[in-house]
Amino acid sequence: MMPEKENILSKRLNKVLETRFENDQDTLDALKELSTFYGENTIQARRNLRSQIEKRSLEINQNFLASFREVKDVFDNVYQDVVEMSQSIEEMTTKLKNAKAQTKQLLERTRQLQEESVKNDMKQTVSKAFLEKFQLTPEEVVILHGSKHKRDVTISEEIFVVLEKVQKIHADCKILLQAEHQKLALDIMDQMTLHQEGALERLYRWSQNYCRNVDNPEFTELVTRAMGCLQTRPVLFKNVLNEYCSSRRGVLAGEFIDALTRGGPSGNPAPIEMRAHDPQIYITDILVWLNKAIPIEKRNLDLLVKTCNKEELKEILDEALANICEGICQPLQIRIDKILNISIDASILYAVTNLIRYYKKSIGKITQGGLLNTVLEEMQTKSEQIFLLALQNQVNNALVRVEAPPRDLSPTSSIHHLISLLRDMLSTASMSEGREIDMIKIAQCVVDPLLRAVNEQASRLPPTDMAVYTLNCMYSLYTCLSLYEFMDEKIERLQAQSDAQVDTLTSEQASNLVANMNLGPIYTILQDHSHGPLSSIPGMEPSNLRNFLGKLDSVISAPDTVLLPQINLLASSTHKKVIQKRAFEVLLAIYKQLYEGVHNPVNMYENPNSILNRTPEDLSKMLMS
Amino acid sequence: MSTGQYNYSYIFKYIIIGDMGVGKSCLLHQFTEKKFMADCPHTIGVEFGTRIIEVAGQKIKLQIWDTAGQERFRAVTRSYYRGAAGALMVYDITRRSTYNHLSSWLTDTRTLTNPSTVIFLIGNKCDLEAQRDVTYEEAKQFADENGLMFVEASAKTGQNVEEAFLETARKIYQSIQDGRLDLNAAESGVQHKPSQPGRNTLNNDQQQNRYNKDNCAC
Ligand SMILES: Nc1nc2c(ncn2[C@@H]2O[C@H](COP(=O)(O)OP(=O)(O)OP(=O)(O)O)[C@@H](O)[C@H]2O)c(=O)[nH]1
Ligand SMILES: [Mg+2]
């Protein structure tokens, strides 16, 4: 034996022996099955067992096969169905796929259309709004331009609303421009410009026509607003204004002539020319009328342009008012000329001059830079000239004949007359405007010829009379001039001339005094110191000196008696006093010399105090008090 | 009244003398207005002119009497010599007669003015050289002999006019400085500081009336 074979067998045996069938379920099941058909353990049975089992197995398999064949057939049918179904489904799927694709496009379109529709709606709203905002309605166009067929000339308030709209659109276009709608904006702007020009043109014609016919300016809202609109077109604006002015110019001139020649309704107030014989009243009435009428014109003009921008208008309005006033210039000038040419009295001419000045200024505050101002200026200058000429004439006429001064050496009647004329003129002039120049001119006009006349008259008198007469005239003139301002130059001259005359008279009076008191020889001796003691000189004896003292006493007791008779004719007490005082001063000076001489022991006077008892100081007190 | 008119420290009085037609008024006018008057009427009695000048830094007002040369006014014009600090004695170089009369004018001046009065001889119309009738030399000699200052001048062109008036003023001013001229003498023709208006001869009693009217009219 081979050990190995032995070993495998033992192992198998062991394995079988070791197997525990009670624990093997499969074996148990198999055994259970076996028990159903294997009832007796015989050899036959054992021999048959195998085939029995195989038979049994075949039977089972056959059964199984049959069963499966059925199942297979069923399955085959099912399969067939499924295949068919699958095919159908496939077809359907394809169909569906197609359908689905088609629907998507449709939806897409619908959506697009919807979107577009919304957009279009928007656009329409915008367009509508835009049109409303940037275009005129046909009605508005008609309001603006009038109906084409009817050649509409009347305008209504609405035109201003539309015009405003046009302007607003035009202005709004600037925003459009910025928003890059340039072409559109420019187009609309052009369009609006055309509208505006058209409308303004229409307003212009209308206003011009309106202004051509204003007799009594009561302006409607319409015309003032039209003017307000037209202000943007200076040329048109000015044309309308010109039309207005020329209309008013005519009316005003007519009214002026009426006021002059016809007066108010049914002669009340009376025509100004009724009183043409009185230059002052006549010119006053004329100028008062102007001074009243022109402010009314100015007010009306202001009303006409009340809606306009006033700042730019000042010059134009000034010009317009000046224009309106032009019509009255000629009739005015003719009348003033007439007044100036007929009046002869200087004082009336001066009053007329001042009236012209006053009203020229007053009117000049209302209207400037026009013909009227020029005419008034010319009239003023002319009036001033004529006045001065008349004054000169009046002075010359008064002085044409050289009068002899009266005995009392007071100013002659013509000098007197001229001085009172001067006083009157100066007193009027001192209250007028620009009085300084007037007063100086008036004084010039009167004083110089007057002084010449005084010189002429005085030249025919003896020296003392001459000086007294001259001084009296100077004094009278001074009294007049010193009441007024601006006469310093003349007064300085009068002063100097008077001083000269006073000096002359002082010298005359002093010589006269010295002569009357026989002081002449004494004075001469006193000047000469070559004689030895005074007491031994003839004429200087105490007796002679006492003689002099006697005369001196009478002078002291009645100082006025020693005056030259003419000195008493001096009109000014001051002049008189000055001359007297200065003459006495001469006397005193000589007395002082004499007194000192007498009291000087060298001169050997005995008891000098008994000869000259008055000290020079005493004498001075007596004479000068 | 402005105080401005008193912005001078002295008043010098002048007198212009000489035959009629020698050009006294023209000289004055040329000096005060710097203009020539071609058609100047004869002076009737006296005319008056003023101008403020400056000498040695001092403002001086000149009060100038232009006298008539016509004989008939001789008495009238004499009054104005007395107070003159300066005398301009004028002749016309084209008319010898006017030169010949100078001695008589000089005598008048010497007797009527005071010794310190400055006398200035003017040979006027020196623009009319062609018509000259008096040589410069003889006039100069006359002036020197009499201690006068002298120029030839022309009121027409203004030549030497200013100089004559100013030179006279300088001489007067010099006399004041030298003490030769007594300012207090009434007849010196010089006033130191202007007088108050109406100080001496024209009635003080009128003073308060001045401007009363104006005050109430304003
Ligand atoms: N060529 C020339 N003419 C002069 C000059 N000065 C004066 N005249 C003329 O001479 C004339 C007389 O001049 P006036 O100044 O009036 O003479 P006046 O000395 O004042 O004369 P009376 O007043 O009469 O004393 C006038 O016609 C002047 O035009 C001058 O310097 N040259
Ligand atoms: Mg003269």
Return the domain boundaries, chain B. Answer: 7-217
Q: Which two tokens stand for residue A327?
A: 């019509």
Cα–Cα separations (whole angstroms), residue A620 to A242, A432, A559, A581, A582: 89, 51, 12, 10, 12
Strand B10-17 and strand B86-92: the pairing is parallel
Distance CA A329, CA A375 (A): 7
Q: Answer whether B21 contacts ligand 1 (Cβ < 6 A).
A: yes
SS3 B122: strand
Among A182-196, A422-436, A572-586, B190-204, the least confident range: B190-204
pLDDT digits over A457-495, tens only? 999 999 999 999 999 999 999 999 999 999 999 999 999
Probe ligand 1: pick from B25, B70, B154, max atoms within 8 Å of CB? Answer: B25
**Eight-class DSSP state of A140:** H
pLDDT digits over A331-358, tens only? 999 999 999 988 678 999 999 999 999 9
Distance CA B67, CA B84 (A): 12
pLDDT digits over A256-291, tens only? 999 999 988 887 889 999 999 999 999 999 999 999
pLDDT digits over A380-425, tens only? 999 999 999 999 999 999 999 989 999 999 999 999 999 999 999 9
pTM over 0.90: no
The closest residue, in CA terms, to atom 6 on ligand 1 is B23
A496 and A488 in contact (C-beta within 8 Å)? no
Nearest CA-CA distance, residue A376 and chain B, Å: 26
Give the pLDDT mean for A116-131.
Answer: 90
pLDDT digits over A604-616, tens only? 888 888 888 889 9
pLDDT at A499 over 70: yes
Nearest ligand by distance to the CA of B22: 1
* pLDDT score at A216: 63
What is the band of B198 on the pLDDT scale with cuts at 50, 70, 90?
Answer: very low
The closest residue, in CA terms, to atom 1 on ligand 1 is B125
Residue numbers of A between 507 and 526 with CB closer than 8 Å to B: 507
Q: Is the CB of residue A431 less than 8 Å away from at least one CB of chain B?
A: yes
Atom of ligand 1 nearest to the CA of B153: 31
Mean pLDDT of chain A: 88
pLDDT digits over A43-69, tens only? 877 777 778 888 888 888 898 899 889
**Eight-class DSSP state of B5:** G
- Say how many Å lie between the CA of residue B27 and the centre of ligand 1: 8
* pLDDT score at B62: 96
Q: What is the ipTM of this complex?
A: 0.86
Give the pLDDT mean for A351-369.
Answer: 93
Atom of ligand 1 nearest to the CA of B22: 19
Residue count (chain A): 625
Distance CA A235, CA A230 (A): 9
* pLDDT score at B188: 67
Mean pLDDT of chain B: 85
Q: Which two tokens stand for residue A337?
A: 């000329």
Nearest CA-CA distance, residue A353 and chain B, Å: 19
pLDDT at B103 over 80: yes
pLDDT at A581 over 70: yes
Q: According to CATH, what is the number of the domain A508-624?
A: 1.20.1280
* pLDDT score at B195: 45
Probe ligand 1: pick from B20, B26, B31, max atoms within 8 Å of CB? Answer: B26
Give the pLDDT mean for A428-451.
Answer: 92
CATH 3.90.1150.10 assigned to domain B7-217? The reply is no
Distance CA A396, CA A147 (A): 80
